[in-house]
Amino acid sequence: MEYKLRTEKSNITTMMEFILLGFSDIPNFQWILWGIFFIFYLTIVMCNSVIVLITRIDPTLQTPMYFFLNHFSILEICYVTVTIPRMLTDLLNQKGHVSFIACATQMCLVLLFGGLECLLLAMMAYDRYVAICNPLHYGLIMSPQVCVQLVTASWVSGVPVVIGQTWQVSSLLFCGSSAINHFFCDLPPVFKLACGDTFVNEIAVYVVAFVFIMVPFLLIGVSCGKIISNILKPRSARGRAKSFSTFSSYLTVAVLFYSTASTTYLQPRPNQSEETGKLISFLHRKIFFSFLYHVTLMFNPMIYTLRNKDVMTALRK
């Protein structure tokens, strides 16, 4: 990390700054990329805002399913607002300078909203499981109080963990290069710039990832398995189609979310000693998967809207 020392009388202030490489190696595509990501951002915000609006004002959508969908849409708006505007700014000025405080804040918010989305997807899977496999007790099990408690528990459990992770990063010492091989501040590329051993920090990240990503993923898998098993039981074709229609849109969003997120974050990261060509190749792959991930975020509300009769009816009203 770069240290800029400024001495004023007897006071010495250390100003720390990162440089996000992002799109710096492809300046010729600056305006094209800016336009694409700007359209992504507007589409995601507008579509999710419509879902938030109609699920709040339409009486027929005051159910647990749409309660969770409302919060999921809010989280998607928050997530892209933390990342895309910064990317748009970097595309315009081609500098990518970001202060340590701004970087730490972005890391904290990205981790928080990403983790909460995983937890919320698990809750939505449980909601669909109860609705399809235990419909007679659905109103009792998924009462409004229970829904509020589940969402509140997600925030309460997520905030202190993410703050702890960010504090761990802020306590590290940085030296050498200040360049982050990413479009926004994220834990793995920041760890590469730290002096000394970051083994404990990386283990803590893996533990948090297991709790907030793998545990919800396993719960989603179990719920989906039970739902599919229930749908395949002998019943009328109409009943089977109705059960599947309430589950298919959620399953599509969950699969897209986890597949694109894992593909984005499990890409091999080059070592700092590799040549520039490999770094540029890495950045180009990151651009592709960044497109893929944000396209998924853009289509999530559309999938729910176009494949759900209740939402379509509310939109017509």
SS3 per-residue string spanning 65-108: HHHHHHHHHHHHHHHHHHHHHHHHHHHHHCCCEEEHHHHHHHHH
pLDDT of residue 78: 92
pLDDT of residue 269: 47
Domains of the chain (ranges, CATH numbers):
2-316 (1.20.1070.10)
| DSSP code at position 269 | P
pLDDT of residue 21: 78
* Amino acid, single-letter form, for residue 307: R
Instruction: For residues 244 and 21, give the distance between their C-alpha atoms in angstroms, rounded to a whole number.
Output: 45
Q: What ranges make up the beta strands (E) of 145-244?
A: 179-180
Helix count (H) and strand count (E) of the chain? Answer: 11, 4
How far, in Å, are 54, 104, 162, 236 from residue 111 at the CA level? 28, 11, 6, 44
pTM of the model: 0.80
Dihedral sign for Cα atoms in the order 126, 131, 133, 135 = positive
52-61 contact pairs (CB < 8 A, 24+): 52/77, 54/311, 54/314, 54/315, 55/314, 58/314, 58/317, 60/310, 60/313, 60/314, 61/310, 61/311, 61/314
Q: What string of pLDDT tens digits covers the 317 residues of the chain?
A: 443 333 333 333 344 788 887 766 666 778 888 898 898 889 889 888 988 998 888 888 888 988 998 898 899 899 889 988 988 888 888 777 888 888 888 988 888 898 898 899 899 999 989 988 888 899 999 999 999 999 999 888 888 888 888 788 878 888 767 888 777 888 878 888 888 788 888 888 888 888 888 889 899 999 999 988 888 876 665 666 666 766 777 787 787 777 766 655 555 444 444 444 444 444 444 554 555 555 666 666 666 665 567 777 777 77
